[in-house]
């Protein structure tokens, strides 16, 4: 599963030549299925994929589910990006 999560690069790469939102959503959805929709990091990846695909409504939904208690500050920062219709980029 860790290798599959590495495919989040299709959603978060700073290089626009690598990013591909539709492919990222497909891989991230499969990853969430494998984790039975219980891993916050896989839900976070799915949110990033939806944001890259321009589906900010779904990005917000999945990012909110990924937050957990207490909320992770990095995930909160990504939630704020999606609220402003901005995708997340790795540095």
Instruction: Please write the tens of the pLDDT for every residue from 30-50.
Output: 999 999 999 998 999 999 999
3-state secondary structure of 64: helix
Confidence (pTM)? 0.83
Dist CA 73 CA 79 (whole Å): 10
The residue among 69, 74, 70 whose CA lies nearest residue 90 is: 74
Predicted confidence at residue 3, as pLDDT, reads 66
- What does the pLDDT look like over 10-26, one tens digit per residue? 888 889 998 999 999 99
* 8 Å CB contact between 46 and 31: yes
Predicted confidence at residue 6, as pLDDT, reads 74
What is the overall mean pLDDT for the chain? 90
CATH architecture type of domain 2-83? Alpha Horseshoe (1.25)
Dist CA 51 CA 82 (whole Å): 7
């Amino acid at each position: 599963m860790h290798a599959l999560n590495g495919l989040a690069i299709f959603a978060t790469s700073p290089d626009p030549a690598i990013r591909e939102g539709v492919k990222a959503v497909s891989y991230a959805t499969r990853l969430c299925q494998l984790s039975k929709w219980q891993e916050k990091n896989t839900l976070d990846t799915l949110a990033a994929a939806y944001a890259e695909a321009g589906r900010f409504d779904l990005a917000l939904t999945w990012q909110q589910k990924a937050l957990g208690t207490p909320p992770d500050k990095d995930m909160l920062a990504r939630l704020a990006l999606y609220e402003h219709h901005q995708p997340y980029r790795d540095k």
